[in-house]
Amino acid sequence: MKRILITGVAGFIGFHLVKRLMKDDFYLVGIDNINDYYDINLKNQRLKNLEIFSKNNNSNWKFFKSDLVDEKALRLIFYEYKPDVVINLAAQAGVRYSLENPREYIYSNIVGFMNILELCKENKVKNLIYASSSSVYGLNKKIPFLEKHPVNHPISIYASSKISNELMAHTYSHLFNIPCTGLRFFTVYGPWGRPDMAPMIFTKAIFSKSPIEIFNHGNMWRDFTYVDDVIESIIRLINNPAKRIIKNKLDIESSETSMAPNEIFNIGNNNPIKLLDFIEILEDEIGIKAIKKYREMQKGDVEKTFADSTLLSEKTGFSPKTSIRRGIKEFISWYKEYYRIN
């Protein structure tokens, strides 16, 4: 039975991934430090939901409350369960939060990830999949974003930490032959979503009839990606670890070409939508008009994100495809149930 260790299991994507994997024949080990960056009650409810789902499906599931920075505790978990696959979704998230609390990103996203890499090396892990972010594209103006585009102009500490993860993974992949796959997520949304992200912030404001702050005067586009599509992408990569991909032996400067078993993929819907249109779809689904307050662009934000998912499709035969209207419908249905709104 394949053993999979997943970090960040009380988080949005981690929760959905574990729940999906519980339907299959895996031994699952989950880690989360359950920090208070956002509502701990939501995180605990996710974990409670996983426990119930695990019992109903007779799943092999073990959870540890632990921090990736705690190398000793992490080492014990690795040595006891000896994972074949590691999926690192734990990270200090949030672009705006990183402007005020930069050190949190160094501890969680860089020191913590270093511990993961070291233990993957020591335990000869066969497949490491880790979360990166569309934020790495920073000031890149070429649209849509391709994995081979330069990512050397980040505009937040969060983005810098994710670029660091990609570089660290490549180094360990090259030196120790660890198959490493980085996933650049594009604005993931859906049921059980993060309260600090736009879909939850906007929805809460609309229901409470409070103003929504819309930055850059509404001239923002986001490639919103439904969480089920993200999970399907990860599932298809579990049994399809990174390989050496050399399209041109003289060119090893992009993530498409490497002497190491190291790959990076955009995980996005390949269909950016204007933020004002996104709000309009929320209004239609909720049945309440939003109160809008327009603001200047915030530091660390970018005007547009747009994923080219060709590489993911070539690798897995799948690319995100859930329409924004269907995704919002599912999200609002969950929101009403969870927050008991009639």
What residues have CB less than 8 Å from 208, skipping those under 6 apart?
A: none
Tell me the one-letter amino acid at 135. Answer: S
Tell me the one-letter amino acid at 295. Answer: R
Q: Let me know the angle formed at the C-alpha of 239 by 146 and 66, rounded to the nearest 5 degrees.
A: 90
Q: Between 188 and 1, where is the model more confident?
A: 188
Instruction: With CA atoms as reference, report the closest residue to 275 among 197, 335, 334, 209.
Output: 197
Q: Give me the mean pLDDT over the 209-238 stretch.
A: 95
Q: Alpha-carbon distance 64 to 246, whole Å?
A: 39
Q: Give me the mean pLDDT over the 249-255 stretch.
A: 50
Provide the pLDDT for residue 248.
55
Q: Give me the mean pLDDT over the 187-195 stretch.
A: 97
Tell me the one-letter amino acid at 51. Answer: E
Q: Give me the mean pLDDT over the 266-281 stretch.
A: 96
Spell out the domains of the chain, with CATH numbers in brackets.
Answer: 2-186+227-270+307-322 (3.40.50.720)
Q: Give me the mean pLDDT over the 2-25 stretch.
A: 97
Reply yes or no on whether the pLDDT at 251 is more than 80: no
Q: Give me the mean pLDDT over the 162-166 stretch.
A: 97
Matching residue, tokens 């299959």: 24
Is 9:18 a contact under the CB 8 Å cutoff?
yes
Q: Alpha-carbon distance 129 to 306, whole Å?
A: 22
Is 29:62 a contact under the CB 8 Å cutoff?
yes
Provide the pLDDT for residue 57.
87
- Quote the pTM value: 0.94
Over the chain, what is the mean pLDDT? 93
Residue numbers annotated as active site: 158
Reply yes or no on whether the pLDDT at 250 is more than 50: no
Q: Give me the mean pLDDT over the 173-177 stretch.
A: 97
- Detail the DSSP E strand segments found in 26-170: 26-32, 60-65, 85-88, 127-133
